[in-house]
């Protein structure tokens, strides 16, 4: 369990160290895909304060340093939730990423898949229509 801010920071640093060249994204998030429709979890726009969930998502999605939309299957998305779960012990923080990711998983159907969004720099052009939809949620 990660209870203190130092625990959270240490966990983030440990995970980041396992991704050679990792650069924290300016923005990130996740969505469930059902029949081509996106259902977004918590959206972390540029300037967000929740850094650990980005590193957790990068760990399972293979993000390093470039703007990308990465498809994830149920197993990988579940792994992200499991990897982030110890952060919930830090009760002085809200955990909108973890909570919304659990909701996305709970609402999944048999054909549901997931995508992870990483925007390396807010000035990067969108890489897909899904990326445009993600960025539209920044406001």
Q: What integer pLDDT is reported at residue 63 of this predicted model?
A: 98
Q: What integer pLDDT is reported at residue 74 of this predicted model?
A: 97
Tokens of 126: 């969108």
* Structural domain that includes position 31: 5-136
Distances (CA, A) of 9 to 18, 124, 125: 14, 27, 30
Q: What integer pLDDT is reported at residue 139 of this predicted model?
A: 77
Tokens of 75: 């197993």
Which neighbouring-strand residues pair with 72?
Answer: 114
Q: What is the CATH number of the domain that holds 39?
A: 3.30.70.2010
pLDDT lower than 70: segments of the chain: none
Q: pLDDT tens, 57-88?
A: 999 999 999 999 999 999 999 999 999 999 99
Q: What integer pLDDT is reported at residue 48 of this predicted model?
A: 87
Helix, strand, or coil (residue 112)? coil
Structural domain count, the chain: 1
Helix, strand, or coil (residue 13)? helix
Supply the pTM of this predicted model.
Answer: 0.96
Q: What integer pLDDT is reported at residue 89 of this predicted model?
A: 97
Gap between the Cα atoms of 108 and 103, Å rounded:
9
Q: What integer pLDDT is reported at residue 49 of this predicted model?
A: 85
> With contact defined as beta carbons under 8 Å apart, do 14 and 2 qualify?
no
3-state secondary structure 46-105: CCCCCCHHHHHHHHHHCCCCCCEEEEECHHHHHHHHHHHHHHHHCCCCCCHHHHHHHHHH
């Amino acid at each position: 369990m990660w209870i203190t801010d130092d625990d959270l920071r240490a966990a983030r640093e440990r995970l980041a160290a396992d991704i050679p060249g990792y650069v924290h994204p300016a923005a990130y998030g996740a969505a469930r895909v059902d029949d081509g429709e996106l259902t977004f979890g918590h959206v972390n726009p540029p300037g967000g304060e929740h850094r650990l969930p980005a590193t957790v998502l990068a760990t399972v999605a293979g993000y390093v340093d470039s703007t990308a939309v990465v498809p994830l299957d149920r197993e990988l998305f579940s792994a992200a939730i499991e990897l982030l779960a110890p952060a919930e012990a830090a009760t002085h923080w809200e955990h909108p990423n973890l909570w919304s990711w659990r909701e996305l998983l709970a609402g999944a159907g048999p054909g549901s898949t997931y995508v992870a969004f990483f925007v390396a720099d807010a000035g990067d052009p969108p890489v897909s229509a899904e990326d445009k939809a993600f960025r539209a949620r920044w406001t």
